[in-house]
């Protein structure tokens, strides 16, 4: 079940997890959500993370995205040891280098599409006019140049997810992380969102997404399969993934 990522060997390592453990709770109530996870993802890869519910996918994503810290082990992001950083330093890395997309969009309901997309640049101290221009550009990139001033409840689910993607990419991140980005979408809208992911990957962004849907995962180049807090298959091709999915 192994194949080499031939085109990736020359590329830089972006994500390196070494013996990562995550334990929630203590004593009898302790849950080992991640159990000695080793994982390397190179710059420019397009990966899907799959595995049963409760296998540790979101926990791994939260650590990769610097939203949470491991209980033990080391994490290097773009060759920087992030295990040793404080909350503020982690927040800076998240804001500047990583874009997030979630199943439930997480848009602010009182703000327009454009205002939602401009928000991450506020923390980065970008001047207003530039925020407006870059926000508009990002929305045009996801096909929403004609919906700049709509609020989330005036947009379809797929359009809301595209606003969330525009917000995720507006600071030109190295890494786009998505946890079940199509989980709340129908099949037509799923395809639209996946087309955008494909374009972002082609433009050079590293994409890592969690999905339960084989038809979504097969669009990525590499599938990482979790079971019981462990990576059991670090590098499946889409074809191999389909066999594993049928068997599990």
Ligand X SMILES: Nc1ncnc2c1ncn2[C@@H]1O[C@H](COP(=O)(O)OP(=O)(O)OP(=O)(O)O)[C@@H](O)[C@H]1O
62 binds Mg ion (CB under 5 A): no
The CB-side HSE value for 6 (13 A sphere, CA atoms) comes to 2
Instruction: Give the C-alpha separation, 97 to 78, whole Å.
Output: 10
Residue 56 binds which of ligand X, Mg ion, none (CB < 5-8 A, kind-dependent): ligand X
Whole-angstrom Cα distance, residue 225 to residue 166? 28
Q: How far apart are CA 101 and CA 211, in angstroms?
A: 12
- 59 is an interface residue for ligand X by CB under 6 A: yes
Out of 44, 56, 135, 173, name the contact with ligand X by CB under 6 A. 56
Considering CB distances under 5 to 8 angstroms, the limit depending on partner class, which of Mg ion, ligand X, none binds residue 10? none
- Span interacting with Mg ion, options 32-40, 54-62, 141-149, 150-158, rule CB under 5 A: 54-62
Q: According to the binding rule CB under 6 A, does residue 57 interact with ligand X?
A: yes
Q: Which residue has the tokens 């049928």?
A: 246
Of 48-56, 155-163, 167-175, 213-221, the window that binds ligand X (rule: CB under 6 A) is: 48-56
Interface with ligand X, residue 31, by CB under 6 A: yes
Instruction: Please state, in angstroms and rounded to a whole number, the distance separating the CA atoms of residues 214 and 227.
Output: 16
- Give yes or no for residue 55 binding ligand X (CB under 6 A): yes
Which residues have a Cβ under 8 Å from the Cβ of 54 and sit 6 or more positions away?
Answer: none
58 part of the interface to Mg ion, by CB under 5 A: yes
Residue that has been written with the tokens 């080793």 in this structure: 38
Task: Give the integer Cα–Cα distance in Å for 156 and 190.
Answer: 12
Cβ closest to Mg ion, residue 54 vs residue 145: 54
With contacts defined by CB under 6 A, name the span among 55-63, 72-80, 86-94, 114-122 that binds ligand X: 55-63
Q: Does 211 bind ligand X (CB under 6 A)?
A: no
Is 24 among the residues that bind ligand X (CB under 6 A)? Answer: yes
| Paired tokens of 92 | 């800076």
Q: Would strands 31-42 and 46-51 be described as parallel, antiparallel, or unpaired?
A: unpaired
Is residue 182 close enough to count as binding ligand X by CB under 6 A? no
For residues 198 and 218, give the distance between their C-alpha atoms in angstroms, rounded to a whole number: 12
The residue ranges that bind ligand X (CB under 6 A) are 24-25, 31, 33, 51, 53-59
């Amino acid at each position: 079940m192994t194949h080499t990522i031939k085109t990736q060997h020359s590329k830089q390592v972006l994500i390196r997890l070494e013996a990562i453990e995550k334990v929630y709770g203590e004593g009898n109530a302790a849950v080992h959500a991640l159990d000695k996870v080793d994982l390397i993802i190179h710059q420019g890869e397009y990966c899907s993370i799959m595995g049963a519910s409760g296998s540790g996918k979101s926990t791994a994503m939260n650590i990769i995205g610097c939203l949470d810290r491991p209980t033990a082990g080391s994490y290097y992001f773009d060759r920087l040891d992030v295990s040793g950083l404080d909350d503020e330093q982690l927040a800076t890395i998240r804001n500047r280098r990583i874009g997030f997309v979630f199943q439930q969009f997480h848009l602010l309901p009182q703000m327009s599409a454009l205002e939602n997309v401009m928000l991450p640049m506020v923390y980065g101290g970008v001047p207003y006019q530039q925020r407006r221009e870059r926000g508009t550009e990002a929305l045009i990139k996801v096909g929403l140049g004609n919906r700049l001033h709509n609020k989330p409840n005036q947009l379809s689910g797929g359009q809301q997810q595209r606003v969330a993607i525009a917000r995720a990419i507006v600071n030109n991140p190295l890494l786009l992380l998505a946890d079940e980005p199509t989980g709340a979408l129908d099949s037509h809208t799923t395809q639209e969102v996946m087309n955008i992911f494909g374009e972002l990957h082609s433009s050079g962004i590293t994409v890592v997404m969690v999905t339960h849907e084989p038809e979504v995962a097969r669009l990525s180049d590499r599938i990482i399969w979790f079971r019981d807090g462990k990576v059991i298959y670090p590098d499946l091709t889409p074809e191999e993934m389909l066999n594993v999915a049928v068997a599990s």
